Structure 1
Amino acid sequence: MTKYLISFPSEAMVVPEEEFEAVVEASHAVIDEAKAAGVYVFGGGIDEGVAPVLVAGDGTVTEEIYPGHLVPNGGYTVLELPSREAALEWAAKIAVACRCPQEVRQFAYDPAS
């Protein structure tokens, strides 16, 4: 089984305010389905009200990110699936629920995780 990251940036999800609760319910339904199927690993949205920081090996914390790197935002779901095709099927379900396309990335195999 391989882990896949299914995600979207905040700006991709353009939903009228009066429809937002329906999107939340639909996305939670897909997550519940993934949990029931035993493929759910983790999911959530980045809290954009909390600024990112960079932590060095010596513990120094600076209010910055890697130069040239975009600040991650939006929603993320990690699923453990038997194939890329399965990941694309789940991404389509999430795309319908969130009303925006989803990016799919495959995690490299790590026997320790």
Structure 2
Amino acid sequence: MALYLISFEKGAMDHIPEGDLPEVGKAGHAVCQEAKDAGVLVYSGGLMYDTDDERYAADPAVVETDGTVTDGPYPESKELIGGVFIVDVPTRGEALEWASKVAVACRCAQDVRKFMYDPDAV
């Protein structure tokens, strides 16, 4: 088995009309449940940015090697992650199948990357 990160950029779902968001949320939750039932879901969730609601405020920050904290994303970042879906599956093909399900549910393209295996980290 191998861990795969399936993710999409912040703003990737901005094209979806507000009235369609409940349907998209329901479809996304259905894919999560399907992955849970299949025993492959490790974690799934969206990331919050720039919100006025303090319960959800989580603006990006960079913590340097000396401990200095700077608000905002890392300067070299080209994009911010909007959501993640991590699966533990035997093959890249299966990861791509799950990414396809997420893409259809969330109505946006997905990036698929395999985590490096580190036996000391698990």
| TM-score for both structures, normalised by structure 2 | 0.84
Say what the alpha-carbon RMSD is for the aligned residues.
Answer: 1.5
Output one character per residue of 1:52-105: Cα deviation in whole Å (capped at 9) or x when no partner.
Answer: 112234433222443322352311111111100000110111111011121111
Match for 2:82: what amino acid?
G
Equivalent residue letter for 1:69: S
- 1:92 and 1:65 map into 2 onto residues whose CA distance is 28
Q: Which residue of 2 aligns with 1:100?
A: 108
State the SS of the aligned residue for 1:15.
coil
Instruction: Show the counterpart of 1:31.
Output: 32
* Residue of 40, 55, 61 corresponding to 1:53: 61
Separation in 2, partners of 1:100, 1:71: 15
Deviating more after overlay: 23-32 vs 60-69: 60-69
Q: Can you give the 5+ residue segments of structure 1 that lack an aligned partner in the other structure?
A: none
The 1:64–1:12 alpha-carbon spacing in structure 2 relative to 1, beyond 3 Å, is closer
Cα offsets for 1:22-79 (capped at 9, x unmatched) = 0000000000111111111111111112321122344332224433223523111111
Kindly, what percent of the aligned residue pairs are identical?
50
Equivalent position amino acid for 2:43 in 1: F
Counterpart in 1 of 2:55?
none
After superposition, residues 61-80 of structure 1 pair within 5 angstroms as 61-80=69-88
Secondary structure of 1:95's partner?
A: helix
TM-score norm. by structure 1 comes to 0.90
| Aligned equivalents of 1:66, 1:12: Cα separation in 2 | 20
Note the residue ranges of structure 2 that are not aligned, 5 or more in a row.
51-57
Alpha carbons 1:54, 1:63 under 8 Å: kept: yes
1:17 aligns with 2:25: no
Contact 1:48 1:73 (C-alpha < 8 Å) held by counterparts: no
Q: How many residues align?
A: 113
